[in-house]
């Protein structure tokens, strides 16, 4: 499919890095993903392999094991992961969504303690926000972290936690001052093996079946004061400050997913015969795919503009919400359109388009639902 050159300033070094990342995902991830789907989990070894190649947090400082590179290197990893449909290996959640909380808000001692393992893939991250009774409304969380002098005593439960089963370091959102509502929320790093911290069952989902989404339970977990991330009571501010990045990352993954679905469908309709002709020769096929290609091309241009602004350091709260809304909804629409051309085969899980279809559904739910995105755009962008 013909595309205009992208406006992002990729260099030969970026291209070389992409070739290496592509080889990793082609050789180490794609051939095993079907088994990981059956197992409901990705093996820890793949994280360490990715870390050894510099695929985790390449934009982090060298003193902690990163490469001190620009965000385009992270973007390349996101795109190559999406290209092979690696929906179970949540490397971008770990590297681009959760790790920045440590980089931006942790103390020097905490960074030295946690970042090397985060970057080399031996310490897997999760962030525990959602609770059985609180999703998008963070003020509604009921988990508490009560000050006991030299430690906090954490109680509560979390659900729908990605990387929840594999994780070694869990940034836990809890109320240190329950009476202060959002101003009483803090972030605490709960570590694997802490007494009273338990993982529930790995949750069964309609998609993302290789992703270890889990329940987490906290029963009088003693979390040292040294594991408080940033300032007490600043948790909500920290969460809001990083959400734009999360939404941009998910938009990038959805965008590449759209392109891959379209590329694979174009290959299919050119070879699949019906009534003695290729599917691609029918006007309905041509018009549907022409519309899809146009929408995907337009979304790509907007997303890359937002990425450029993000890399310049511009505040992109509204634009990231627009990109997340646009690309996640477009992914659902595109894979649905494309699946139709595969007929009955499109409903068979052995065809990548089928897995793309079920995996796409959650994109407009997590990291802020499409409804939340519309609210942000209306209030912060349109002044309504």
Instruction: For 41-81, write each residue's pLDDT tens digit.
Output: 999 999 999 999 999 999 999 999 999 999 999 999 999 99
Three-state DSSP state, 366 = coil
- DSSP for 20-76 reads HHHHHIIIIIGGGHHHHHHHTS--HHHHHHHHHTT-S-TTS-GGGT-----HHHHHH
Confidence of residue 128 (pLDDT cuts 50, 70, 90): very high
Return the pLDDT at 344. Answer: 93
Q: Please identify which of the residues 37, 79, 246, 259 carries the catalytic annotation.
A: 246
DSSP H/E element including 257: helix 235-271
- Is it the case that residue 110 has pLDDT exceeding 90? yes
DSSP code for 232? T
Contact, 224 vs 154, CB < 8 A? no
Return the pLDDT at 265. Answer: 97
Mean pLDDT of 245-260: 96
Contact, 124 vs 170, CB < 8 A? no
* Percent of the chain whose pLDDT exceeds 70: 99
Mean pLDDT of 73-96: 96
Confidence of residue 181 (pLDDT cuts 50, 70, 90): confident
Rounded Cα gap, residues 235 and 379, in angstroms: 22
Mean pLDDT of 305-318: 96
Q: How many angstroms separate the Cα of 165 from the Cα of each of 123, 197, 295, 323, 360?
A: 13, 12, 37, 30, 22
Mean pLDDT of 101-109: 97
> pLDDT digits over 218-240, tens only?
999 999 999 999 999 999 999 98
Average the pLDDT over each of 27-31, 82-86, 137-141 and give the range with the smallest value: 137-141
Return the pLDDT at 4. Answer: 81
CA angle 201, 202, 203 (to 5 degrees): 105
Question: Among 1.10.4030.10, 1.10.1060.10, 1.10.540.10, 3.65.10.10, what is the CATH number of 12-122?
Answer: 1.10.540.10
Return the pLDDT at 352. Answer: 93
| CA-based torsion, 201, 204, 205, 208: positive or negative | positive
- Is it the case that residue 137 has pLDDT exceeding 80? no
**Which of residues 138 and 161 earns the better pLDDT score?**
161
Return the pLDDT at 179. Answer: 86
Domain residue limits, the chain: 12-122, 126-233, 237-381
Q: Does domain 237-381 have CATH number 1.20.140.10?
A: yes
The class that CATH gives domain 126-233 is mainly beta
Rounded Cα gap, residues 189 and 224, in angstroms: 9
Average pLDDT, the chain: 95
Confidence of residue 169 (pLDDT cuts 50, 70, 90): very high
Q: Which residues pair with 126 in a beta bridge?
A: 170
Are 12-122 and 237-381 equal in CATH topology? no
Q: Active-site residue 109, yes or no?
A: no
Rounded Cα gap, residues 32 and 123, in angstroms: 22
Return the pLDDT at 163. Answer: 95
CA angle 263, 325, 140 (to 5 degrees): 135
Return the pLDDT at 138. Answer: 76
């Amino acid at each position: 499919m013909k595309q205009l050159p992208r406006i992002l300033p990729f260099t030969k070094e970026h291209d070389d890095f992409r070739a290496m990342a592509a080889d990793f995902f082609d050789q180490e991830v794609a051939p095993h993903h079907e088994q990981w789907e059956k197992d409901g989990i990705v093996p820890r070894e793949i994280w360490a392999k990715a870390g050894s190649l510099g695929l985790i947090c390449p934009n982090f400082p060298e003193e902690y094991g990163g490469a001190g590179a620009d965000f385009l290197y992270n973007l390349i990893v996101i795109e190559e992961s999406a290209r092979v449909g690696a929906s179970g290996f949540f490397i971008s959640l770990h590297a681009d969504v959760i790790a920045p909380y440590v980089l931006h808000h942790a103390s020097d001692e905490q960074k030295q303690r946690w970042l090397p393992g985060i970057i080399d893939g031996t310490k897997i991250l999760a962030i525990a926000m959602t609770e059985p009774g609180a999703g998008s409304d963070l003020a509604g969380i009921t988990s508490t972290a009560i000050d006991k002098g030299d430690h906090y005593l954490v109680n509560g439960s979390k659900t729908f936690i990605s990387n929840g089963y594999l994780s070694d370091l869990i940034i836990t959102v809890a109320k240190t001052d329950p009476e202060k509502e959002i101003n009483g929320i803090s972030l605490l790093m709960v570590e694997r093996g802490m007494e009273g911290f338990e993982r529930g069952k790995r949750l069964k989902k309609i998609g993302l079946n290789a992703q270890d989404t889990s329940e987490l339970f906290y029963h009088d977990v003693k979390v040292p004061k040294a594991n408080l991330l940033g300032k007490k009571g600043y948790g909500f501010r920290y969460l809001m400050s990083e959400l734009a990045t999360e939404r941009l990352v998910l938009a990038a993954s959805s965008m590449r997913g759209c392109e891959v679905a379209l590329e694979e469908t174009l290959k299919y309709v050119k070879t699949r015969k019906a009534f003695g002709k290729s599917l691609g020769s029918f006007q309905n096929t041509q018009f549907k795919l022409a519309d899809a290609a146009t929408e995907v091309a337009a979304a790509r241009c907007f997303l890359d503009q937002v990425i450029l602004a993000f890399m310049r350091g511009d505040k992109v709260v509204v634009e990231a919400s627009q990109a997340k809304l646009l690309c996640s909804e477009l992914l659902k629409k595109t894979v649905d359109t494309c699946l139709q051309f595969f007929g009955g085969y499109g409903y068979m899980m052995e065809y990548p388009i089928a897995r793309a279809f079920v995996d796409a559904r959650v994109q407009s739910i997590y990291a802020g639902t499409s409804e939340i995105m519309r609210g942000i755009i209306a209030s912060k962008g349109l002044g309504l």
